[in-house]
Chain A
Amino acid sequence: GENVEQHPSTLSVQEGDSAVIKCTYSDSASNYFPWYKQELGKRPQLIIDIRSNVGEKKDQRIAVTLNKTAKHFSLHITETQPEDSAVYFCAAEARTGTASKLTFGTGTRLQVTL
């Protein structure tokens, strides 16, 4: 099955700096890669996603890049703000027959300090 690895597990940056979180996946057939933000005690919220037919997608301060050949994708947050502090999960689509499911990375705890 699909295996998703995520690094780093914790990341501390100063307000205004950039943050980068990286993920790798194992199933070359995966073609959908979402990123979720989860604040303490709350539900995961989709913040950005990318499909395999594009290499990069940007939404204001957030961008995601995908390298299908190397099977890795990254989340980039620019001009970080304290409210960006949360746990971020990457995920990759895994297909088993006609069914699809998301396999999540282990999460990155991002702390934005003043």
Chain B
Amino acid sequence: GAVVSQHPSRVICKSGTSVKIECRSLDFQATTMFWYRQFPKKSLMLMATSNEGSKATYEQGVEKDKFLINHASLTLSTLTVTSAHPEDSSFYICSAGSFYEQYFGPGTRLTVT
């Protein structure tokens, strides 16, 4: 199957700083990528749909100014958590691929202290 990578796998940052997470499709082009958030022992909650060359589509309740998404190329989407707070600590996972074949990245565990 297709390979999706994420970087970094883990990040610890101080409250008030910004953190950028990268999602890359390694062996295919992805016009659409999805960003999810997963709390411990909980389900995956879709945050936004990242569209190459256009603005991301955010789910209801997700602050677009806090979670900045950029999809500048067919193989890279980035999620920037701005002015992070402890409540932003979570597991962030991206996925990419055609709709019926979504491949997930390995996830990024963000801890805000």
Contact = CB atoms under 8 A, between A and B. Distances in A.
Contacts of A101: 34, 46, 49
B12 interface: no
A44 B1 CA distance: 13
Interface residues of B, number: 19
Is chain A's binding surface mostly helix, strand, loop or mixed?
strand
User: How big is chain A's contact interface, by range?
Assistant: 20 to 34
A99 B44 contact: no
Contact of B49 (A32, A99, A104, A107): A99
A29 to B, nearest CB: 14
Contacts of A103: 46
Contacts of B100: 32, 49
Interface stretch (B64-72, B78-86, B102-110): B102-110
A44 B43 contact: no
Given A99-B49, A99-B57, A101-B49, A46 B43 contact: no
Contact of A89 (B43, B57, B102): B43
Given A43-B107, A49-B100, A107 B43 contact: yes
A89 B102 CA distance: 14
B47 to A, nearest CB: 11
A104 B107 contact: no
B44 A104 contact: yes
Given A102-B102, A104-B43, A44 B93 contact: yes
Interface of B: 34, 41-46, 49, 57, 93, 99-107
Given A43-B107, A104-B46, 15 more contacts: A42-B107, A43-B93, A43-B106, A44-B44, A44-B93, A46-B101, A46-B102, A46-B103, A89-B43, A99-B49, A99-B57, A101-B46, A102-B46, A107-B41, A109-B41
28 contacts: A32-B99, A36-B104, A43-B104, A43-B105, A43-B107, A44-B44, A44-B93, A44-B104, A45-B104, A46-B101, A49-B100, A89-B43, A93-B99, A99-B49, A99-B57, A101-B34, A101-B46, A101-B49, A102-B46, A102-B102, A104-B45, A104-B46, A106-B42, A106-B43, A107-B41, A107-B42, A107-B43, A109-B41
